[in-house]
Amino acid sequence: MELQFTAEENAFRNEARDFFRSALPDAIRNRVQRGQHLAKEDIVAWQRILNKKGWATPMWPVELGGTGWDAVRYFIYKEEMTRANAPEPLGMNVHMVGPVIINFGTDEQKQFFLPKVQNLDIWFCQGFSEPGSGSDLASLKTSAVRDGDHYVINGQKIWTSGAHRADWMFGLFRTDPNAKKQRGISYILLDMKSAGVTVRPIITMDHGHTVNEVFFDNVRVPVKNLIGEENKGWSYAKFLLGNERVGIARVGFSAGRIAYAKAIAARTVVDGRPLAEHPRFREKMALIEVELKALEITNMMVVAGMKKSGPTQDPRTSVLKLKGTEIQQALCEILLEIAGPAALAHEHAFLEGSDELITAPEWNATAAPNYFRVRAATIYGGTSEVQRNVVAKGVLGL
């Protein structure tokens, strides 16, 4: 057992820290730190900066643009990136569709998509969930019927994050209505500009527009956009669920939020002195820091295990998701508590990236909407209840 980072790893951390400090545009850093929504251009710009450095898709195979880092280095990279208030590279591209194309795509698909996915020339959205199929995803109904060398798609997806920004969708569609649930599903890439695709916004509690409904009305998709084999889509989708283990706990992000909370608390006066000096506030922070430290160590154990044996189905990853999201939520609650009455006003323009404020100080203005929004963290990517079911069955054998 070796609980310390090696000298090389520490050197790498310094390099990463330096890079993120100098390469991240101030405007983007500020927006992330204040909890504002990023414009599409912000995300694209940053991903391209990363790509230029060769750090856009670290975990991809080296020949396709990966860095060849082991899990520990990748962990350090993620930690430093989030700590620097840099946006994370678009998960849909980097962790979700990219690896699936790499593993199951045809050569043409790889050639066409991977460079664009990496450089965010193509923005992907995920078309999995449907109105009747959330946790029970395998019950999905949107159908793709073969017609010559096209599929004709009809049905509806829901909760599609970024569909309004996306160029393409990777989706799960039912190609065999007679097969049992999981077995008749295919994984298809679909151009969002295709005729018959309609995107309708869904506004969430933060008054923000991230998710959408997507309707398909006889949408024709070339068969060459099928990934792997027909009716095998479920296994590809499952493959990618195991993909973003290292960063799923978002320890670095939470550490950044803690630092931010402390900074804000230092300038918030309560009963005549800074909130940061109140024992109760300090104890509250200390408690969450203890939780985060425990999670960080678990995370490093998982990471070290992956370094030795490659991606595995380590049951502790469910703990990473469960605790990681809980801590993110708790931190948003703390930021809201710090804001207090300054969170009441609806500072929508500021949330959307404007510098203009109606009344709230800039460091409090996004506290409420971000608190509302983060409630989704225990819902998407497998709800906390479903995670617990997974652990009960997979780990405890219940």
Partner 1 sequence: MDFDLSEEQRMLKESVDRLLEDRYSFEQRKTYTRAADGWSRELWKQYADLGLLGVPFSQDHGGFGGGPVETMILMEAFGKALVLEPYFATVILFGGAVKIAGSEAQKADLLPKVAEGKLLGAFAHSERDSRYDLADVKTTAKKDGTGWVLDGEKTVVIHGDCADKLVVSARVSGGQRDKDGLALFLVDAKAPGVTRKGYPTQDSLRAADITLKGVKVAASDVLGEPGKAYAAIEKIAQSAIQALSAEAVGGMQEMLDITVEYLKTRQQFGVPIGSFQALQHRAVDMLVATEQARSMAMFAAMMVDEKDAEERAKAISACKVHIGKSGRYVGQQSIQLHGGIGMTLEYKVGHYFIRSTMIEILFGDTDHHLAALARAGGLIPAGTTA
Partner 2 sequence: MDLRFTSEEIAFRAEVRDFFESNLPPDIRRKQVLGQRLAKEDIVNWQRILNKKGWACPLWPVEYGGTGWDAVRYFIFKEESYRAYAPDALSHNITQSGPVICAFGTPEQKEFFLPKLRNMDIWMCQGFSEPGSGSDLASLKTRAVREGDHYIINGQKLWTTNGHRADWMYGLVRTSTDGKKQAGISYLLIDMKSPGVQVRPVVTLDNDHHTNETFFENVKVPVSNLIGEENKGWSIAKFALGNERAGIAKVGLSKARLALVKALAQRVEADGRPLAESPRFREKMALIETELKALEITNMMVVAAMAKGGSKQDPRTSVLKLKGSELQQATTELMLEVAGPHAMANQHEFLEARTGETVGPDWAGTSSPNYYFNRAVSIFGGSSEIQHNIVAKAVLGL
Ligand X SMILES: Cc1cc2nc3c(=O)[nH]c(=O)nc-3n(C[C@H](O)[C@H](O)[C@H](O)COP(=O)(O)OP(=O)(O)OC[C@H]3O[C@@H](n4cnc5c(N)ncnc54)[C@H](O)[C@@H]3O)c2cc1C
Q: Which residues are known catalytic residues?
A: 244
Nearest to partner 2 of 15, 283 (CB atom):
283
Please list every residue from 377 through 396 that binds partner 1, using CB under 8 A. 378-380, 383-385, 388-389
Q: Token pair 């309708």 is at which residue? A: 200
Give the interface segment with partner 1, choosing from 12-20, 45-53, 83-91, 370-378 (CB under 8 A): 370-378
Please list every residue from 260 through 279 that binds partner 1, using CB under 8 A. 268-272
The conformation of residue 232, written as its DSSP 8-state character, comes to: B
φ, ψ for residue 276, nearest 5 deg: -60, -15
Torsion of CA 127, 131, 135, 140, to 10 degrees: -60
Query: Which residue from 43, 94, 211, 240 is in contact with partner 1, where contact means CB under 8 A?
Result: 211
Cα four-point dihedral sign 88, 235, 377, 13:
negative
283 near partner 2, rule: CB under 8 A: yes
Please return the burial class of 195, using the count of CB atoms within 10 Å of its CB with bins 0-12, 13-18 and 19+.
exposed
Give the interface segment with ligand X, choosing from 72-80, 127-135, 246-254, 324-332 (CB under 6 A): 127-135
Nearest to partner 2 of 70, 289 (CB atom):
289
According to DSSP, the residues that pair with 190 across neighbouring strands are 169
Quote the CA–CA distance of 309 and 245 in Å, as a whole number: 14
177 near partner 1, rule: CB under 8 A: no
269 in helix, strand or coil?
Answer: strand
Give the interface segment with ligand X, choosing from 42-50, 173-181, 311-319, 377-385 (CB under 6 A): 377-385
Query: Which residue from 280, 310, 356, 397 is in contact with partner 1, where contact means CB under 8 A?
Result: 280
Query: Which residue from 44, 138, 379, 390 is in contact with ligand X, where contact means CB under 6 A?
Result: 379
* Residue among 125, 205, 166, 199 nearest 40 (CA): 166
- The CA-based angle 227-229-232, given to 5 degrees, is 95
198 near partner 1, rule: CB under 8 A: no
Amino acid (1-letter code) at residue 121: D
DSSP 377-398: GGTTTS-HHHHHHHHHHHTT--
283 binds, among partner 2, partner 1, ligand X, none (CB under 5 to 8 A by kind): partner 2
279 near partner 2, rule: CB under 8 A: yes
273 near partner 2, rule: CB under 8 A: no
Q: Token pair 């609806």 is at which residue? A: 346
Q: How many residues bind partner 1 (CB under 8 A)?
A: 47
Quote the CA–CA distance of 172 and 140 in Å, as a whole number: 8
199 near ligand X, rule: CB under 6 A: no
Other Cβ atoms less than 10 A from the Cβ of 96: the count is 22
Please list every residue from 131 through 160 that binds ligand X, using CB under 6 A. 134-135, 159-160
Token pair for 233: 């889509």
Token pair for 252: 């670095």
340 near partner 1, rule: CB under 8 A: yes
Quote the CA–CA distance of 398 and 393 in Å, as a whole number: 5
280 near partner 2, rule: CB under 8 A: yes
Query: Which residue from 159, 216, 253, 350 is in contact with partner 1, where contact means CB under 8 A?
Result: 159
φ, ψ for residue 36, nearest 5 deg: -80, 160
Query: Which residue from 9, 138, 389, 390 is in contact with ligand X, where contact means CB under 6 A?
Result: 389
160 binds, among partner 2, partner 1, ligand X, none (CB under 5 to 8 A by kind): ligand X
Quote the CA–CA distance of 113 and 202 in Å, as a whole number: 28
- Which residues are at the interface with partner 2 (CB under 8 A)? 279-280, 283
- Which residues are at the interface with ligand X (CB under 6 A)? 125-129, 134-135, 159-161, 210-211, 376, 379-380, 383, 385-386, 389
- Which residues are at the interface with partner 1 (CB under 8 A)? 129, 132-136, 139, 158-159, 202-205, 207, 211, 268-272, 280, 333, 336-337, 340-341, 343-346, 358-359, 368-369, 371-373, 375-376, 378-380, 383-385, 388-389
